Structure 1
Amino acid sequence: MRKSIIVVGSGVAGMTAALEAADAYDVTLFTKADLAQSNTRYAQGGVAVVIDAMSDPGAPHLGDTIESHVGDTLVAGAGLSDEDTVRILCAEGPEAIDELIARGVPFDRHDGELSHGLEAAHTYARILHAGGDATGAGIAYALIDRLRESTVTIRERTTVVDVIVEAGQAVGVRLLDGEDVRADSVILATGGAGQLFPYTTNPEVATADGLGMALRAGAVAADLEFYQFHPTSLDAPGNFLISEAVRGEGATLIDVDGKRFMLDVHPDAELAPRDVVARGIAAQMAKQPGIPVRLDATALGAEFLAKRFPNIDAACRAQGFDWGEVPIPVTPAAHYYMGGIRTDEWGRTSIPGLYAVGEAACNGLHGANRLASNSLLEGAVYGTRVIEGLNDPAPLAEFDSDWTAPIALDLADDPDGDDVNRSDLQQLMWDAAGLSRNGEDLERALATLSEWRAPVATDAKSAEDANLLVVARAVVASAMARRESRGGHYRTDFPESDPAQAKHSSIAPQHA
């Protein structure tokens, strides 16, 4: 009798895992919306990878190596990226791309060769893209087609509310309607947590569900203080993402007087690491209150912009911006979670039988700040590895010297408290745990969060709100514990990095 696997989530990581397992396991994939609703679907920039076939003489990637990709990733990670997991990503990336192409992903080509672009903090132009700025959609829809052709049982618009743990082992999941679904292994691939904040490039489904469920189940989480805020979302309703690739093509950031202010912030100016650019924009916005900074792409020309970035072009025009002629207003927004459920390089968590992969997981790959366009590659590479890891059901290894001892997280609600209101939680998190933090604000935030109560999960939204509350508490507790600034975690009361704190943080529920 074949073993069974439950996969929760339908981004590149979840769908890759399901497809990799389909021939050897009975696989059921749950997703709370339709298959296409994921952070993957909305990813624009592309996939960072070094492929030997990219050897076109005189091309901008000439001389690129896997070692260079490793080095760029480690630099972006601000001293916290785990080198072993980084090397796995970069070395196994080309094979993962070959598999995506075999599964029908239509990466853009020029003269028959894969096209590639440059993004911030990359030494070489190594970013593959599809449909110009629709790479995530190209990947998502290709994998959806393969998934529907496979033997995987697909349950769309089905909300998973908890992981079932018996005798210390994950044995299945509980659904919103009370149904228990059993399996030999559970893989959480639920994506990010952008809805912790009022301003985010993430879709509405990114409500930290996997992380919330894992914490309630007693799993250890890691690096939850590190959240990446994308520097350039359109300053308009919806915070539409303006890809890093636009700056890679030569667009610049200007202040109210038309001056390139990032030249005074970092030697790489607009192509500095994301956390640096995001804080640079926030600081400039504070100097010109009420007036956003602007992204000037006019030198690239309207024709080029429409061809290279068709989705961004359409979004700008829909908001009344002719970005080929006039600079557009941009602002930072919550974008990507470096932290997540703690895993090893095989996706194993601290609970036997429970696995996590993609943005929901944290294996140390991204450190304190993710390198642009490594996320889709992570889903493809580690979505494959997590199935290989099923052959060894042991939980991840004990903590080593690169990880701190877990912070104790109190999950108890105030029985007399009010049910959490999502808008209030989002604004609290933006003010206290957003681009800049300090101890006083974090302490007040944690006190407020402890006064709120998780709602009973009677519908999808209340289930999401329960996850957002437990994760918000974990984020604030983690941010309080790291008394330094590093990557996506910036504290105004501890503005410098402390070499003694160059370790991954960990947090675990008290009842674990």
Structure 2
Amino acid sequence: MTTDIETPASNGIASIPQEILDRLTRVDMPAVRGIDASDTCLDIDGLSIPVYRCEALVLGSGAAGMRATVELHRRSVDVLVARTGLFAGTSACSGSDKQTLYTASTDYKGDNFIKYAQSLCAGGAMDFSTAYVEAVGSNDAVGGLQFMGLPLPHDDQGAILRYQTDHDEAGRATSCGPRTSKLMVKVLFEEALTLGVRILPSTSGIRIVKESVDGEERVCGVVALHREESRNAYGLIFIQCEDLIIATGGPGELYRDSVYPHHCHGGLGLALEAGIELCNVTESQFGIGTPRTTFPWNLSGTYVQVMPRVYSVDADGNEINFLKRYYRSTREMVSNTFRKGYQWPFHSTRMLDYGSSLFDLAVFLECQAGRKVYLDFLRNPEPVNEGECFSLDDLDPDVRAYLENNEALYDLPIDRLRRMNPLAIELYRMHGTDLCQEPLEFAMNNQHMNGGILINDWGQTSLQGCYAIGEAAGSHGVTRPGGAALNSGQVFGKRVAVAIKRSRLHKGAFAPDQDCITQQIQQTLQDASAFVTNDGGRTPKDVKTEVQARMSDSAGIICTQEEVAAALSEAQQLRRDAEANGLKVSSASLVGQAFRWRHMVWVSEAVLTALDYYIQNGGGSRGARAICASDGTRCPDASHEDLTRFRFVEEQAKDREEKLIVSREGDGISVHALPVDLKPEVKREFFEKGWGPYLIKEG
């Protein structure tokens, strides 16, 4: 065991015991026993296909999926959870310095839900009603987590401790430390296990099975692959359900330069294949983080607020103070390094006026030039100009005030980090990098998709009986306060449970068409067989390499109309090739890779189609990307670099007033705009008038 991390003495504050650090970073997850193998099987084409049945199926076992699971079980809905790998998704494996949960603040005077909602949908492409639902629901979401044991810090009066995060002017953020979402998963799993929820691990959904009833399609189950199933060569199973909740996270495998855990494919391809509409897939987040080849992690918050030395290393081993080519003074450089803490995602307008995203552009260009970039917590930043030096007395007022308020005016970055966030040091130590001894390599990475599956304010998708929550749902708009996604998953986890319970009060007996089910399972078996017997197709590995390189190189933080159009043409060609010639794997046990990368080929084309449509229709720079053009209206400046090639087109105000809806149509992807309602209108329901209808809805 390592020794305690000693916090610099200040006003008698003692070191934090290692036991506490371990509890918040080395999180022990509960043991999970999967359900017994089903005795019921379908005989299809001479193969035995096991069948599992439930009323509601949750695909995904992250924080959002498990909240839905717990809430469904509490409402007496027979729910089954299926997940490729327990504790292997973004909720359990991702985070930042103090991973944020963004909820309505109970601190001091409390919060205003309308203002909260306005902060969520300020970036546009999000209905105010959805934002208001998330604002109002946040109190119940966080209260339920606290009841289940989530250790959120609070003062002696009971108010949760708060801080400011990105796109947040009110300071609604809170945290349990770097592993907030993993701790959320932990307490939700413990609750689910206490309730006796059925869990089917090692299971990946590969096809949504539908039937048509009275001219409308509805869910009747999912074909899945179960790694422990041996009654057929592919491990194929069928899970029959009346309601499906897609909680599979975002498409982390879409980009080469990514801070997602490995093998996060998400459910967008699964949804597209089923004819479900997506929205806002042009909207992502990119920011600095450690490379995926090591320990992928966001470097927001205190990692940069302590103002470490930032430098790059060329092929000859020379260390370069590259930021001095971009900023005009040492004060300007270090103050904007600090601001990356709560302005973490890249944003085009923050490249202007020597802002914090000029830092991102500089890092991006260093990496493009083949140099590696590092944070050094053992030395202060090097000066920009001769005669200058880094000084805690020469900082912008907001930066100086923050350090003073946190009593972190120490000589070295590592001591400032120890004072403000010792857990941030412990986390990297746990994964093999001691910030007290060595620098930390980092780069620009894709981190989150704000778009996803189109849902309404109850989490319902365009397919009857199908819901989407968490990062799989496209409910986040263009920009959002950091940590709002964790809250959204919790709010909608409960709302889909309420919606499903209410719908069951008015449904008849569920009796899906077994011939329809058999036909779709047969088609899936034919696809699986074709993957194994194919001699002329491409391998999933080849497809992965091509898709990820194209998305990172042509659809990252810097885009041009020409590059996106060319990338789209290449993506369409890859998809047509995959359809005409198929994919190939060397054994039946690997067909899951082919199914997943066939899905990802469609997801890549969907994102590029939407992005091309957006740019072709005059869409400008917003959220994740700068749309660069020679006739752009804004251009970043740098002290000693010519950045005219990054002149960019400004966002049009009208684009904030619509969502871009994406779906499969014929031989490709269709896109159309859907107006959103951003008006902050909330109708007050009087108690006596609303009580009766509520009781009827709840049964």
TM-score range, shorter chain: 0.7 to 0.9
- Residues 219 and 350 of structure 1 are in contact (CA less than 8 Å); yes or no, is this contact kept in structure 2? yes
The aligned counterpart of 1:165 is 210
TM-score by length of 1: 0.83
The aligned counterpart of 1:411 is none
Q: CA RMSD in A?
A: 3.3
- Residues 9 and 188 of structure 1 are in contact (CA less than 8 Å); yes or no, is this contact kept in structure 2? yes
The aligned counterpart of 2:583 is 455
Q: Work out which of the residue numbers 644, 652, 660 in structure 2 matches 1:498.
A: 652
Deviation at 1:423? 2.0
**Structure 2 residue ranges without an equivalent (≥5):** 1-52, 226-234, 312-320, 325-329, 351-355, 381-408, 507-534, 630-647, 671-699
- Residues 436 and 491 of structure 1 are in contact (CA less than 8 Å); yes or no, is this contact kept in structure 2? yes
Residue 426 of structure 2 is aligned to residue 314 of structure 1: yes
* Letter matched to residue 226 of structure 1: E
Distance 1:201 1:269, change over 3 A: closer
Q: Work out which of the residue numbers 104, 109, 117 in structure 2 matches 1:70.
A: 117
- Residues 251 and 295 of structure 1 are in contact (CA less than 8 Å); yes or no, is this contact kept in structure 2? no
Distance 1:439 1:385, change over 3 A: same
Output the CA distance in 1 between the equivalents of 2:610 and 2:203: 31
Output the CA distance in 1 between the equivalents of 2:555 and 2:440: 27
Distance 1:307 1:387, change over 3 A: farther
SS at match of 1:180: strand
Distance 1:247 1:353, change over 3 A: same
Output the CA distance in 2 between the equivalents of 1:324 and 1:477: 46
The aligned counterpart of 2:296 is 240
- What are the superposed Cα offsets for residues 198-225 of structure 1, whole Å, 9 maximum, x if unpaired? 12221113212x1111100001100111
The aligned counterpart of 1:142 is 187
The aligned counterpart of 1:224 is 281
The aligned counterpart of 1:349 is 461
Deviation at 1:118? 2.5
Output the CA distance in 2 between the equivalents of 1:313 and 1:273: 19
Output the CA distance in 2 between the equivalents of 1:146 and 1:509: 39
Distance 1:94 1:123, change over 3 A: same
Q: Work out which of the residue numbers 548, 558, 568 in structure 2 matches 1:436.
A: 558
- Residues 6 and 183 of structure 1 are in contact (CA less than 8 Å); yes or no, is this contact kept in structure 2? yes
TM-score by length of 2: 0.62
Deviation at 1:268? 6.2
Distance 1:21 1:326, change over 3 A: same
The aligned counterpart of 1:123 is 169
* Letter matched to residue 583 of structure 2: P
Distance 1:428 1:153, change over 3 A: same
SS at match of 2:467: strand
The aligned counterpart of 2:498 is 388
Deviation at 1:189? 0.4
Deviation at 1:318? 6.5
Residue 69 of structure 2 is aligned to residue 13 of structure 1: no
The aligned counterpart of 2:80 is 28
The aligned counterpart of 2:549 is 427
Deviation at 1:305? 3.1
- Residues 169 and 351 of structure 1 are in contact (CA less than 8 Å); yes or no, is this contact kept in structure 2? yes
- What are the superposed Cα offsets for residues 153-192 of structure 1, whole Å, 9 maximum, x if unpaired? 1000111111111111111100123322111111100001
Residue 261 of structure 2 is aligned to residue 213 of structure 1: no
The aligned counterpart of 1:409 is none
- What are the superposed Cα offsets for residues 103-132 of structure 1, whole Å, 9 maximum, x if unpaired? 1212234547433332223223322211x2
* Letter matched to residue 202 of structure 1: Y
- Residues 273 and 599 of structure 2 are in contact (CA less than 8 Å); yes or no, is this contact kept in structure 1? no
Q: Work out which of the residue numbers 216, 232, 239 in structure 2 matches 1:181.
A: 239
Output the CA distance in 2 between the equivalents of 1:481 and 1:64: 39
Q: Work out which of the residue numbers 621, 624, 649 in structure 2 matches 1:488.
A: 624
Output the CA distance in 2 between the equivalents of 1:12 and 1:116: 21
Residue 161 of structure 2 is aligned to residue 51 of structure 1: no
Residue 373 of structure 2 is aligned to residue 292 of structure 1: yes
The aligned counterpart of 1:154 is 199
Output the CA distance in 2 between the equivalents of 1:489 and 1:428: 15
Deviation at 1:73? 2.4
Residue 320 of structure 2 is aligned to residue 274 of structure 1: no
Deviation at 1:416? 7.3
* Letter matched to residue 294 of structure 2: G
- Residues 374 and 441 of structure 2 are in contact (CA less than 8 Å); yes or no, is this contact kept in structure 1? yes
Output the CA distance in 1 between the equivalents of 2:416 and 2:335: 29
- Residues 307 and 338 of structure 2 are in contact (CA less than 8 Å); yes or no, is this contact kept in structure 1? no
SS at match of 1:145: helix
Residue 424 of structure 2 is aligned to residue 368 of structure 1: no
Output the CA distance in 1 between the equivalents of 2:487 and 2:461: 21
SS at match of 2:611: helix
Output the CA distance in 1 between the equivalents of 2:255 and 2:163: 30
Output the CA distance in 1 between the equivalents of 2:308 and 2:376: 6
The aligned counterpart of 2:148 is 103
The aligned counterpart of 1:418 is 538
- Residues 307 and 334 of structure 2 are in contact (CA less than 8 Å); yes or no, is this contact kept in structure 1? no
The aligned counterpart of 2:442 is 330
Distance 1:118 1:418, change over 3 A: same
Work out the number of aligned pairs and report it. Answer: 477
* Letter matched to residue 179 of structure 2: A
- Aligned counterparts, 1:460-479, within 5 A: 460-479=592-611
Deviation at 1:437? 1.7
SS at match of 2:152: coil
- Residues 239 and 333 of structure 1 are in contact (CA less than 8 Å); yes or no, is this contact kept in structure 2? no
The aligned counterpart of 1:399 is none
Deviation at 1:499? 2.4
SS at match of 1:88: helix
Percent identity at matched positions? 21
**Structure 1 residue ranges without an equivalent (≥5):** 56-61, 395-414
Choose 1 or 2 for highest CA Rg.
Answer: 2
Bigger shift: residues 428-437 or 316-325: 316-325
Distance 1:440 1:236, change over 3 A: same
- Residues 558 and 625 of structure 2 are in contact (CA less than 8 Å); yes or no, is this contact kept in structure 1? yes
Output the CA distance in 1 between the equivalents of 2:491 and 2:309: 34
- What are the superposed Cα offsets for residues 23-73 of structure 1, whole Å, 9 maximum, x if unpaired? 321111100012x12211123412111232x22xxxxxx675434433332
Output the CA distance in 2 between the equivalents of 1:461 and 1:489: 30
Distance 1:295 1:233, change over 3 A: farther
Output the CA distance in 1 between the equivalents of 2:481 and 2:172: 12
SS at match of 1:28: strand
SS at match of 2:598: helix
The aligned counterpart of 1:196 is 254
Distance 1:260 1:462, change over 3 A: farther
SS at match of 1:232: strand
Bigger shift: residues 351-360 or 282-291: 282-291
